[in-house]
A and B are shown apart, each in its own frame.
Chain A
Amino acid sequence: MINEEMLTFYYYGDGLSDLEIADIENQLRTQPILADQYAKLRGELEQMVSREDAGVSDLLVHRLHKSIDRAKDLETSRADRGTRANEVRPVADTVKENAAQFLMNRLVSLAAILVLGLGIGAFFFEGSSPHMYRDPSVNGFVSTRTLHEQSLADTTTPFLRGLQSHLRKTRLELNGDEKTEKPDGLQGNRTLLAIAGQNRMYQKVAELNQASDLARVLRAFEPILMRLAEQELTAEQEQALIAKLRFELDVMLTKLSRAPSKGRYST
């Protein structure tokens, strides 16, 4: 027995077995009533048409073109990065070695972040006891003057500017510049662990000085550093960690940009 459902799928040429199709064709030839029924069905289905596509905005078309351009640029940039890495170390022929290479190439950037953390730590605790601070205008590190000896009016603004500049530079480096010198794997790992130890020390100092925001930021660095010290990271995991570091850097940048307007940090 041929029903309307079978005729519908006969019209679509889909969803019926060869046997069913043969049966329908046979009955359409021999049964005029069924043939009329099918003709009516077919006519109604053919009227169900889409006249035209919905209009698409120029903005969307532009957005689509740009998305392809961006995807292409991203690929090119990744390919360039891969080429540069191979030039530095052509024998790196396993995935694990490449991941380690990727990690090590960023160690200098990470070290810069942590040194920055130490600088911030020194800067934010001028209110407690005399201590050293980092002066970006001095090549290297140490100035033995205390903040009590030099007025904040003289130091805070250039210091903040120096820190902000350093943060931005570090962030740019994290965005993919791999021209930094590459320490070897073991040394790099030790460096990371040492940095994490120093970071913990300054975090505790921050807590003792009730600089809770700074302590929080420094605390956030530690698990990332410890994780990065692991050699078994995939590229995705590492990228996620780097993204996390970027976030923390942004937090610190925001904090620094607001600091001059706050009580004791204002000039």
Chain B
Amino acid sequence: MAAVVNGMNVPTEQDFHRAITERASHWYSLCLKITRDAHLAEDAVQDALISAWTKRHQFEFNARLDTWISRIAVNSALQLLRKRHPERWQVLESEVRDTSAGHFEQRHAAELDASLGVALQQLSEFERICFVLKHLQQWRLQEIADLLDTNLGRTKQGVYRATQKLRMSMLHLRSEA
């Protein structure tokens, strides 16, 4: 994979351009799952890239550049979400189902398995982000907790509730089909 940086120096401009060519779609998709807003997702990816470029001296060479940028992108996406949609962020920590998700999920269901896309509508913001990061991105629970400024217990709860709801929803949807 070209996005893996070769050599002992910090990632170069070419490394970044290569990573953009190969992984921009993945970063955007990830940010879209988190923000549910195409413009926010675009801004998050751009912010992440500039931030990664600025901090490229901190990049560890046993990591992949594109994975590193993914993580920064998730962070950027969450920051933008908190900043621009504080009302949605309030919902994040609650048990209330995020009804605003329907429109987005319907439009972008195609990017996930169809049943999963529909089933994600059943999740609260917090549960959805926990699920995306844990299940689809394989983040460690502690990393998710740190990112969301919460504790491990709440994060586990979020992930577990999400998987339970999704399992039930998907079973129901498939039985209907």
Given A14-B141, A47-B170, decide whether A60 and B28 contact each other with a Cβ distance below 8 A: yes
Contact of A198 with B by CB under 8 A: no
Contact of A227 with B by CB under 8 A: no
Least Cβ–Cβ distance between B136 and chain A, in angstroms: 5
Instruction: Give the docked Cα–Cα distance between A67 and B159 (Å).
Output: 35
* A8 pairs with B20, CB closer than 8 A: no
Task: Pick the contact of B111: A45, A52, A60 (CB < 8 A).
Answer: A52
Given A14-B140, A48-B116, A49-B116, decide whether A64 and B24 contact each other with a Cβ distance below 8 A: yes
Least Cβ–Cβ distance between A75 and chain B, in angstroms: 9
Residues in chain A near residue B167, CB distance under 8 A: 41, 44-45
Contact of A50 with B by CB under 8 A: yes
Least Cβ–Cβ distance between A63 and chain B, in angstroms: 6
Residues in chain A near residue B25, CB distance under 8 A: 53-56
Instruction: Give the docked Cα–Cα distance between A9 and B163 (Å).
Output: 11
Given A15-B141, A68-B17, decide whether A48 and B50 contact each other with a Cβ distance below 8 A: no
Majority SS of interface residues in chain B? helix
Number of residues in B with C-beta < 8 Å to the partner? 39
* B156 pairs with A56, CB closer than 8 A: no
* B152 pairs with A54, CB closer than 8 A: no
* A67 pairs with B49, CB closer than 8 A: yes
Given A9-B156, A61-B20, A65-B17, decide whether A51 and B140 contact each other with a Cβ distance below 8 A: no
* A60 pairs with B45, CB closer than 8 A: yes
* B112 pairs with A64, CB closer than 8 A: no
Instruction: Give the docked Cα–Cα distance between A181 and B114 (Å).
Output: 68
- In chain A, what residue has the closest Cβ to B160? A5
Residues in chain B near residue A1, CB distance under 8 A: none
Chain B CB within 10 Å — which of A52, A54, A55 has the most?
A: A54
* B141 pairs with A48, CB closer than 8 A: no
Q: Which 7 A-B pairs have the closest CB atoms?
A: A53-B29, A54-B29, A56-B25, A53-B25, A56-B28, A54-B111, A71-B53
Give chain B's interface residues, CB within 8 Å of chain A: 13, 16-17, 20-21, 24-26, 28-29, 32, 42, 45-46, 49-50, 53-54, 108, 111-113, 115-116, 134-136, 140-141, 152, 156, 159-160, 163-164, 166-167, 170-171
